[in-house]
Structures are given as C-alpha cells and as structure tokens.
Amino acid sequence: MPEKERVNRYYRRDPLQIGGTIVGVTVVFGAVGWWIDSMIGSFPFGLMIGSVIGLFGVLYSNYLWLKASDKEDSEAARKSPNKTP
C-alpha cells in the first residue's frame, strides 16, 4: 500500500467520530454542570456553563488536531517527488 494511502486511511478521522465526540463531550460536561446545579441550587447556570466549556474544549481540540494533520500533509507533499510532467 502506498504511503500516502496508508496515512490517509489510518490517520484521518471519520466525520461521524468527530460529531459523536462533540456531542458526547458536550453532554458529559453538561451533566457535570447539572450535578453542580443540584448541589448548590443554581439551575440552569451550571448546566449552561458546563455545556459551553465542553463544546469549546472539544472544538479547540479538533482544531489543534486538524492543524497538526494539515502540517503533516504539507510536509509529506514537500518530501514526495513532483508527479506533474
């Protein structure tokens, strides 16, 4: 298997995986915020703050991953021979 195909196959994220991660992390942080609300009686502020923190955290994580992936792709393109005649 050529190197480029192997890289794309093993290191690319599936869009469904990215979406599931965004939803899952947001729900988990929202649940933590809800639990904090139930402890101190501040509903719905903890839920909203937890959900927003989870959402921005996972979006920032995906941004960093995509930035690193683009850097790897550009380095691989620079190292590969030019295939245009």
Q: Domain ranges for the chain, please list them.
A: 14-74
Q: In this predicted model, what pLDDT tens digit does every residue of 12-39 receive, in sequence order?
A: 677 888 889 999 999 999 999 999 999 9
Radius of gyration of the chain (CA): 20
**pLDDT tens digits, one per residue of 56-72:** 999 999 899 888 888 87
- The upper half-sphere exposure of residue 32, i.e. CA atoms within 13 Å in the direction of its Cβ, equals 11
Q: If pLDDT is split at 50, 70 and 90, which confidence band does 7 have?
A: low
Asked if residue 85 has pLDDT above 60, the reply is no
pLDDT tens for each residue of 35-52? 999 999 999 999 999 999
Peptide bond connecting 15 to the previous residue in cis, omega within 30 degrees of 0: no
**Residue reference for tokens 């093993």:** 10
pTM of this prediction?
Answer: 0.73
